[in-house]
Structure 1
């Protein structure tokens, strides 16, 4: 289910749905997606990157662990 590339999953661009119509997208999400959402009736709103939250994750693998921490926020993935 989970790959070893936890960091790539955390780094992926995010969206934030405010209600059935309003949605905010992080800047890396391209114009094609933005135009498609508007064509479906969504209203795009601008939000600072910190409004999308942050993430830290640790995934147990068959041999060891994989961890990642979101560069958008302070924090680190730590386990014991």
Structure 2
């Protein structure tokens, strides 16, 4: 599964994408695994209220299941006018 990072999330993590071979059960499980990797991941995922997530290009919640998912993307909330 590919994990994609956009905007300031990418800046904090230090690269645009990771490849995860063992798929966690939920998005939150993925977040916990990423936080445990390094301090830069912990910083990127410190405030989940400042993040949005998409699973296979569809907006999802952090409790969304990841079974069969090919891609998870993390990005800040979108604003517009």
Q: Normalised by the shorter chain, which TM-score bucket? A: under 0.3
Instruction: Find the structure with the greater CA-based Rg.
Output: 1
What is the TM-score when the length of structure 1 is the normalising length?
0.28
Structure that is richer in helix per residue: 2
Which is bigger in relative contact order (C-alpha 8 A, separation at least 6)?
Answer: 2
